[in-house]
Structure 1
């Protein structure tokens, strides 16, 4: 009790301390990690610095849509307050964004859109307008005539679709210009290959429009390789200031222009905080921008360099602020904990005083109860002595007369032994007062109880009753028999008959027998038919209808011997039917025969057979259960952390029931069978694939490859490496 109280107070203290320093967490899922995205991330950090209680978690999918879906789901599971997502492949990523949105997590789409209205706001450029601006620039430069190659971005991206639509709408106004479009992958290498193939087909290309600067650069490098870099005009999107980026390439004359694809990542965190604080926002937020040409490239580069220097300074300043804030939060938590420790000490002191007073009160009450019990049993024992004397005296006299035959003498001996037992029990009750009085004196001296109420009750009753005890745990060698009968003498007789050969448990009616059968899963059940609460027929039906116990053979004992009654017993699922009074040897023979049949089934299961000879119909439920078990285990074969509790839940069994059911059917534990299944699967993969042994070990559920090798050699007599060589 005291430990639970302390734990509860500490947990409450930690919870309050953490709540006092609640931080807003924003998750950012980027589709890639190129230079443009890195610039965005730096600007997001600048926006974060405006808020002292905001953390930003970044992740990049590297243009892998499925990976981005996993990252989004992971961010949601970690408990982020808001998501900022730049989708990769729209059709793949859209469901993940919808899942987050439907869990009441606000979503800001950045740079790219999705095929759904399940988002809170959009921030990015007007990609249709970008396509139009580039088209007008190219048309003007070409004088309204020429051949243009459009290298679009990765298919499935909304910027690709919108830029292409705007470009085509505008360029179609110039009949003298012909265009061709090829989808790239946003990268230099991919665009270089596309340009090389295009020049081989059409050497008269006059202009290349790349959907980002990387694609335009790849096309320029391919043209340079064949000496055409000065004959073709190149236009890109992104307009970043670094080396081999858009502004630098325009300044050097490699590009005719690069459209500055605006980042403005610093606006994202303020927008997110307005959303989280339920303030009004614009849902569609388009960022303005323009072309960088040879005329303005130097000025734009200078401005970008100045902004970069300012950003670096801000980074240094806010890094110091972060360290100070962490120190402040730590001190705040320590203060909260100190306050709760003081509170804890006060509560513990009050609790100890309460316990002391309660113990004293309980001690007095226990002494009263003990005295009352002693007085009751003393009076009862004195009252018993009179009839015992009247029985014991005449009995001794009768026996002393002699002249009885063996059967009569045996009956008299039984009566005499039981009378002597009653005298012994009565004497013990009388002697019990002197033991209890001594204990009471000791408790008075200590001024608190030294024995519990439960202990006193046990002392009072231990000598007054006799229990039957059984052991851009059963002996492992013994089968378990459950006896169900409402007659205590019958249960005692059957126990004495079966105990030399089996581990025996018993129940006094069908309801308790059913509970005990589910808990202990015995190897065989012997049940009476006529019982209160739940008769043997109903009990047998429920045993056979339960997945946990349906495999257990049931022998019914009854005085009803009519053939129709026997048929009724078999219709309720009985495996055997013995009429009272029964022959002990017959019962033992039937039990051993049925258990031997069960052993055959175990052997069949161990050999992996679906059914044992001549038992297919009777044990179809067992075979079905084993099939369900193996199917469930196969689904989790690669899970090294698989727990029997989880597997049992799938089969609607507790861990103990699953273990005993499988053990009863196969002679092996569920863990042993799953290990064999894993090793069999590993053997197959070793023989039919060339995958590394460690990879196969992980796939079949072994967290440590060396343990897989040890188990494999133990089962097959050869280690995996030797098997591969052979």
Structure 2
């Protein structure tokens, strides 16, 4: 019943929760559109362009996802080039450009080539690299103005053009002159050039009138500003401006624009040149949203005279009023939408709160109804738990008893191993390498005896059979003396050990079990030595306050995470990144300290080391001076702490350098890399393999990976369980690197489950040996792997046999062979092409290239390159009529005689005989 009730409640809760958030997201979320940034580069600033900019801004209001960035170059080509380049660097989505001059083309080309859509507006460039053009037909404007003046009876005309390098000036002049040259009524008496500004036009006309001016009755300027400047220049020289007709182009309806000047009689005619910012913006959005658009877009234009200027001005005023009303309406709509959105959010919050309140009430009711049922079930669960706890305790005791019995049984064979080993070591006739193997047996026997002893000590503590044998001794002298036992190991590891007892003012006498305290200290030092890196330090301090001695052992290792500190002293617990060990040592420390009614805890910060703090009372009840017998001081040499036990993480760099530089190093023997964090295991493997192979060593996967990339060995023997980087990750990275993916890997592990072996093979391992293993089996496995590596006899013939050989390689090696073939074929004609350049082209160093090519093909890169050249030469001899010397030079040989010798050595006949 309880289960059904809970399921019903959870179903109700889930339904309400889903409804709430469905409503929330359906109400609040709106489909976000991509936000577009459009850059606008105007060539200058004038009334016409200000109107265009305002129309662009108004048109952008209809698109909520458009941001306009408008810049003006003030008729400066260099400035406009910089502005366009800046837009390109900002990665705008689209660029609208009104070119000042045709010389701006390179900057527009750069934007177009980078993939930014470009709209050319108003003026053109000399390049066709643009997405679309929109503007008026300037040639038509020029020709229409010519026809109008001809019909108006104008005879002698001065043409005032814009900048000679700008497209509107060129096109308007072409259109006007096409009419003037064909009409006898129009006489083009002078052609002047200005810079599109009123001031520039004034100076040009002023200069003309200051000299010997021609007779003219009309000045046709290419824009209204220049027409006004020309009129002012004529006024300055006292000409009767009522008899001169001034014409322009633009006819802007704003205050001071051409349309108003025509209405006032200051200009004779102009040509309305519409801005149409709305059409420009529509074209831009069609391009950005992938809609259909025309590449060439010509805007309608019309002649403006005194007869239609007033009507056009009235239409403009009405348009301005309508735009103002539209802007006001848009503002009101935006405010209404904002208010609606705010109210909707408030409504959603209120509905969500009500739904959550209903759910909370339902949960409260359900909790009240199920309380009695839970209490009843809880009592039954407590009863079952008590029974289960008893069963677990019984099972734990049986397991501990089993381990105790096994430990006792192990002592006899270990003693029988240790005794004869020591006798053999004392025999001077035993020489290397047998002596080194005996020393390895001796060290590991002591290690096993120590582990057995710790298990028995732990068992005694758990069964409350451990007793204190009390001694009265000087704790300061004892710590100093015990620390000296680690000096030899510390010197070899380049570690610093310091003992600080300066805070203890009185004679530091303590009543405790000397043997157990020494065991505590030696375990703490073993742990510190294991995790302190080369060049680090171990600090030991002793303090005395309130009848309590405090011993601190600090290292400069990697430390322990804060969440793991409380479990540091649990039996068999190992923190993340633990380097070997069983997890018994610190448990023994805690047990012996608590046996003395003391306390122990750890302090650590990751990356800065670990400090173990031991607090011991200065005396123990029941001390009998008559039973206080001085025991022989245990030392590291006596076996309490074995050198091998604390140095399992020592780097193999020194031993590897020793082996690499040894006198018996034979360059003709294959190089085998051994990776294992246990110094003893590396020594054992070295002793097995050194007769047939050159040996290199590494203490973890990271160090081994660096050596493999640097030395490119023939084969790697690697342990699976290692600190820093384990064997599986090492294999995975080795097989993913082009320089090393061909190297076979044998994994060694104590794990023998099928899924664990599958994991090893899944990383790319070539073989898997389970510890313990036979040395002869390892040698046979290495020999088989080295002999079974596929050797490509040729990578140039393209034969079926060669393709089958390539298929036997892994994907990376196949890619490498393909790349090598491609690079050699491409550069074989270069007689200066070297192995160094070949390595650079395929992404490997000279050493890596040599060893990888040798491993895959059995040939050196030099031999392979020469063979490629000879293969190509043979084909040329059979298929072309060129001379032998020409072919020799074409395939990269510097001398025909040397080519003849190499060809004959390769194919058994001279080039002439082959042809």
TM (normalized to structure 1)? 0.50
- Is the radius of gyration larger for structure 1 or structure 2? 2
Higher relative contact order (CA 8 A, sep 6+): 1
